[in-house]
Amino acid sequence: MGTYLARRLLLGLLTLVAITFIVYGLARNMPGTPLTVQLGESDPSRKLNPEDQERMQRIYGLDRPWPEGYVRWLGNVLRGDLGRSLSRKQPVTTLIRERIGPTLLVSGTAFLLAWTLAIPLGLFASARSGRPEERALSLLLYVLYSFPTFVAALFLQIIFAVRLQGTAWGLPLFGMTDLPPDAGTAARALDVARHAVLPIVCQTYVSLAYDSRFIKANMEEAVRQDYIRTARAKGAGPARVLVHHAFRNTLIPLVTLLGLSLPGLIGGSVIIEQIFTWPGMGRLFFESIRERDYPTIMGLTLLFSLLTLAGQLLADLLYCVVDPRVSVE
Amino acid sequence: MSETPSRGFWAEAWARLVRKPLAVGALCFVGLLAAVAVLAPAIAGTKPVLCRYKGRIYAPCLGYFHRSLEPAIFARDRFRGTYPQNLRDKDPESWAIWPLVFQDPYRAVRENEWPGRPANPAKGDGHPNRLNLFGTDQYGVDVFAKMVHGTTIALLVGVVSMGLAATIGILVGAAGGYFGGWVDMLSSRVTEVVMCVPPLVLILAFIAILEKPTIWHTMAILGATGWTGIARLTRGEFLRLRQSEFVMAARAAGAGPLRIILRHVLPNALAPVLVPVTFGIASAILAETSLSFLGFGPPPPSASWGSLLNDARSNLSMWWLVVFPGTAIFLTVLAYNLVGEGLQEATDPRLREARK
C-alpha cells in the first residue's frame, strides 16, 4: 500500500510538472502579452509607449525567455506563492478564493440534485427493464445526454429570460445578482437563487442523464450474476434484491465516477459560466486566457490538474475501501 | 482477402445493426448529412451548379469548396460573385443550372439579384419565410445557406480529428500492447499524462497561441488530445490477442512484427476500437461547436454551426438563430451516439448474451 501510494504520488508529481511546463510554454507563446492585449484592446491611445512597455516587461519578468520564467514560477509555487494576477492586480489565491464560492453554488447543487434523482431513476429503469415505461425513460435520458449544454442554455435563455420576461416565470438572463451590495441578506439570497436556477438546471441535466444511464448499465450487469438468483431463490423481495443485492454491488464503479467528477465540481464549467456570465472558476480561466494573464492561467491549470489527479487517486483508493476483494499491488 | 474469417464477423455485425430501428435511422441521418455536406454548393448558393458561358461549360459552384476552383474567366469578366445578371448581360446565349435555394452563406442577397426577388431582410426582421427558410441573421445573411455550408465543416471536423486520434491511439496502443516491456511502460505513462490534462485547458491554450486559427488547426488539436481512450482500448485488445494461437501460428510461419500487427491482430481488434471512435466523432463535433461558440473558432467568413450560435447570443430575440443551428448540432451528436451504441451492441458478444 505504502509503495503503491508513493509511486502514484511520484508519478502524479511528474505529470503535474509536465502539464504546467507545457501550458506555461503555450501561454507565453500566445500572441500578445498581458500589457499589449489589455490596454490596446480597450483604447488604442492608451497603448504603452515603448520605454514604458520595456520597463513593465522587466518588472513582470517578461523580457526573459519562457523556460527561465517557468523555473521561477515553479520555485515560487514550491514556496506557496502563486503570484499576482497581471490584469486584476490581486494575488491569484485571492482570486481563486473569490471565485470558488459561486462555482460551488452551481456545481455543488447540480451535483447533489443529479445524484438524488439519478439513483432512483437508474434503479427504476433496471427494475422495469424492457417494459414500455423503461424504454421511454431510457430514450428520454439518451436524448438529454446528447443535448449539448450550450444549446440547452440558449434555449432556456430564450424561453425564460426573453419570452417569459415580465411574467411570474421570467428569470434573469445572466449575472449572479442585480442588487446593490448594501441590499439585505434575504433579498440578496433570493436574487442569487433566481440567477442560479438556469445554470444549475443546465449543469444538472447532463450529469443526471449520464449518471442514471451509468447506474442502469451497471445494474444490468449485476442482476445477471449468480448471487441475484440465489437471493431470489431464498425468498428476498424484488425491492430488497434490487437495492441490497444488486445495487450494493454496483457501488464500485459508482465510486470511481464520484472521484472523477471532483475536478468538475470545483473547476466548474467554462461554457455554462461563460453563457450565464457567472463569476466562477471556469469563467476566470477563460478570461485569463483572453487577457494573457499568465499567473492566473498557471494557477488555475495547476489547480485543475491537481484536482484531476487527486480525483483519480481518490477513485482508486475508494475502490479498495468499498470492495475488499480489490487490493492495490 | 474474400476468405478471411473477419468478413463473416462484420457481415453478422451488420445484420445485427440493421435490425435496430434507432441505429438505422441514425445511420440514414448521418448519410443524409454527408450528402448535404458534399452537395452543399448545389443546395444553397448564388453560383450556378453548371453554366454555359461564351461557348464553354463551367461549374462555378465549386468555388464554395475553395476559391481557386472557381473558373478564372468569371473573375476576368468582372462578375464579382453576382451571376444571374452578369451571365445574361455578357452572354445572351448562356444558360445555367442554379442551386436549389438561391441564397449565399457569406453575404446577404441584394434586391433584384435574382430577377423580381426582394433583398434579404436584416436586423431582426428576417423571420423564417418562403425565401429564407430558416430566417436571416443580423446582416441579412441566410441562415439556411449558412447551415448547409456549415455541415461540411461539422462532418469534416468529426471525421478528420477522429481519424487523427484513431491513428495516434491505435499506433500507441498497438505498440504498447504488442511489444510490452519498456515500450508498454513508456506508452502507458504518456497516455496517462495526456489523460490527466483537463482537455479544455489544453485545447484553449493551444488555440490561443495561433494568430489566425483555421478549422484545420482545430481538427489537429482535437485529434491530438482525443486519442487516449482509443490507445487504452487498443492496448487491452493487443495484450489479449498477442497470446492467441493465430498470432503464434503467424510468428511460426515467419511473419515479422509489423505484418503480424497490421494483418493479424489489428483486424481482430478493430471492432471494439470502432465504438469509441464513433462516440469520439460526436464529441469532436460537440467540442468544435463549443469552441466556435466561445469565440475560439475559425475567423468570421466560415459558417460553423457553433459560430452561428455565437452570433445568436447577442440577438436572443431572433429565436431562429438559436433553434435551427442548435437543433442541427443536437441531432448530429445524437445520431453519432446512436450509431456508436448500435455498433457496440452489434459487435460486443457480452451485450448480445444479455438480450433475453
Cβ of A260 under 8 Å from any chain B Cβ? no
**A38 pLDDT more than 70:** no
Q: Rounded distance, CA B155 to CA B215, Å?
A: 12
Torsion of CA B210, B215, B217, B220, to 10 degrees: 160
What are B244-296's pLDDT values in tens digits?
A: 888 888 888 888 888 888 888 888 888 778 888 888 899 899 888 888 888 88
Chain B residue with CA closest to A24: the answer is B205
What are A127-176's pLDDT values in tens digits?
A: 888 888 888 888 898 888 889 888 999 898 888 888 887 777 777 877 77
Round the CA-based radius of gyration of chain A to a whole number and report it.
Answer: 24
CATH code of the domain containing B237: 1.10.3720.10
Q: What percentage of chain A has pLDDT greater than the value 70? A: 92
**Within a domain: B78:** no
Cβ of A45 under 8 Å from any chain B Cβ? no
Split at pLDDT 50, 70, 90, the class of A327 is low
**Within a domain: B120:** no
Report ipTM (2 d.p.).
Answer: 0.83
**Within a domain: B171:** yes
Neighbours of A262 (CB within 10 A): 18
C-alpha cell at A62: 517578461
Q: What is the mean pLDDT of chain B?
A: 82
Q: What 8-state DSSP symbol labels residue B67?
A: G
Q: pTM above the 0.80 mark?
A: yes
What are A175-188's pLDDT values in tens digits?
A: 777 777 777 788 88
**Within a domain: B279:** yes
pLDDT value of residue B1: 47
Cβ-based contacts of A15 with chain B (< 8 Å) = 192-193, 196
pLDDT value of residue B354: 46
Q: Which of A15, A150, A224 sits opposite B293 (nearest CB)?
A: A150
**A75 pLDDT more than 50:** yes
Cβ–Cβ gap A151/B282 under 8 Å: no
Question: What is the identity of the amino acid at A204?
Answer: T
Based on the structure, what is the number of domains in chain B?
1
Cβ of A157 under 8 Å from any chain B Cβ? yes
**Within a domain: B269:** yes
**Within a domain: B340:** yes
**A231 pLDDT more than 60:** yes
* Residue/partner pairs of B190-196 with CB below 8 Å, 24 or more apart: B191/B228, B191/B231, B191/B232, B191/B235, B192/A11, B192/A15, B193/A14, B193/A15, B193/A18, B193/A19, B194/B225, B194/B227, B194/B228, B195/B228, B196/A12, B196/A15, B196/A19, B196/A305, B196/A308, B196/A309, B196/A312
Burial class (CB in 10 A: 0-12, 13-18, 19+), A316: middle
Cβ-based contacts of B208 with chain A (< 8 Å) = 26-27, 30, 289
**Within a domain: B72:** no
A122–chain B nearest CA distance, Å: 18
**Length of chain B, please?**
356
What are A269-309's pLDDT values in tens digits?
A: 888 888 888 888 988 988 888 888 888 888 998 888 888 88
Residue among B122, B178, B145, B137 at smallest CA distance from B303: B145
**Within a domain: B311:** yes
Range of the domain at B171: 144-355
Q: Rounded distance, CA B14 to CA B109, Å?
A: 46
